[in-house]
């Protein structure tokens, strides 16, 4: 008999309907409700134009979820109009997890981040993956036209309060952990691959080489 995981054990006390959940919290205030809009107003456009990092959430046809970071120079995400965004795809590990999900379900969630600032913007909506050459030639912020781009039909735009960034001291170097406090990217990769023929030095070299060609 296998020992249940902590998740499996804790499911016995999980909430089973939305009424139980709502009873735990006060109702949101009027401002929290009204802050959600259905288009990219001027302030949202300006924030996206300053953002060099966006977190992209997607869901597969089987309900599995995925979040991946996308980065580039400030403004690498293009605002095509008040209801449409274009995110160039800079080729990475070629797994295409997010793109697979978007093709399968046509939905995406975005969180725009500006390093050093506690302002974030959430954008949710319909999505598709485009390889239209005419569009891609306009999306050269990452250095050259990408192989594809994620097109987002904006449905919800919400400005988050800065509490999470303040609580996490995200932009306060004096409160950051020491460089060796957490496993490095190479250490994580090595532990996942479980290949005795590999060394940490080999993984680190592969990472350095991959970064040289990050936009190809």
* Rounded-to-integer distance, Cα 116 and Cα 123, Å: 20
Residues 80 and 47 in one domain: yes
Tally of structural domains, the chain:
2
Q: Is residue 26 part of a domain?
A: no
Per-residue pLDDT of the chain (216 residues; tens, 9 = 90+): 788 899 999 998 899 999 999 999 999 888 888 889 999 999 999 999 999 999 999 999 999 999 999 999 999 999 999 999 999 998 778 899 999 999 999 999 999 999 999 999 999 999 999 999 999 999 988 778 999 999 999 999 999 888 999 999 999 999 999 989 999 999 999 999 999 999 999 988 988 887 765 544
Backbone angles phi, psi at 85, to 5 degrees: -120, 155
DSSP state of 11: G
Q: Is residue 3 part of a domain?
A: no
Rg over alpha carbons for the chain, rounded to the nearest Å, is: 20
- Neighbour count for residue 146 (Cβ, 10 Å): 22
Residue length of the chain: 216
Instruction: Look up the pTM and report it.
Output: 0.90
Q: Is residue 25 part of a domain?
A: no
pLDDT at 78: 96
DSSP state of 37: B
Residues 181 and 160 in one domain: no
Secondary structure (3-state) at 202: helix
Residues 163 and 183 in one domain: no
pLDDT at 24: 93
Boundaries of domain holding 197: 177-212
Give the residue among 88, 164, 171 at the shortest CA–CA distance from 122.
164
Residues 69 and 139 in one domain: yes
Of the chain, the end-to-end C-alpha distance in Å amounts to 49
pLDDT at 54: 97
Q: Is residue 13 part of a domain?
A: no
Q: Is residue 123 part of a domain?
A: yes
pLDDT at 216: 47
- CB 108 within 8 Å of CB 125: yes
Q: Residue 51's domain is classified under what CATH number?
A: 2.30.110.10
Residues 162 and 85 in one domain: yes
pLDDT at 110: 98
Q: Is residue 159 part of a domain?
A: yes
Distance of CA 32 to the CA centre of its chain: 22
Residues 125 and 36 in one domain: yes
* Rounded-to-integer distance, Cα 46 and Cα 82, Å: 12
Distance of CA 163 to the CA centre of its chain: 19
Residues 140 and 201 in one domain: no
């Amino acid at each position: 008999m296998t020992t249940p995981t902590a998740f499996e054990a804790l499911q016995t006390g999980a909430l089973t309907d939305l009424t139980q959940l709502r009873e735990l919290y006060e109702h949101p205030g009027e401002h929290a409700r009204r802050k959600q809009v259905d288009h990219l107003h001027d302030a949202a456009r300006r924030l996206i134009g300053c953002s060099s990092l966006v977190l992209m959430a997607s869901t597969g046809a089987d309900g599995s979820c995925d979040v991946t970071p996308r980065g580039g120079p400030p403004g690498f995400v293009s605002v095509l109009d008040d209801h449409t965004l274009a995110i160039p795809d800079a080729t990475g590990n070629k797994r295409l997890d997010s793109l697979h999900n978007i093709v399968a379900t046509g939905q995406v969630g975005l969180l725009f981040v500006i390093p050093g600032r506690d302002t974030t913007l959430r954008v949710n909506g319909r999505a598709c993956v485009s390889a239209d050459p005419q569009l891609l030639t306009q999306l050269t912020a990452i250095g050259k036209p990408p192989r594809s781009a994620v097109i987002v039909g904006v449905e919800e735009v919400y400005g988050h309060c800065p509490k999470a960034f303040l609580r996490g001291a995200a932009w306060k170097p004096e409160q950051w952990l020491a460089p060796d406090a957490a496993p490095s990217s190479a250490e994580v990769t090595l532990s996942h691959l479980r290949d005795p023929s590999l060394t940490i030095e080999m993984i680190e070299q592969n990472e350095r080489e991959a970064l040289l060609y990050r936009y190809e």
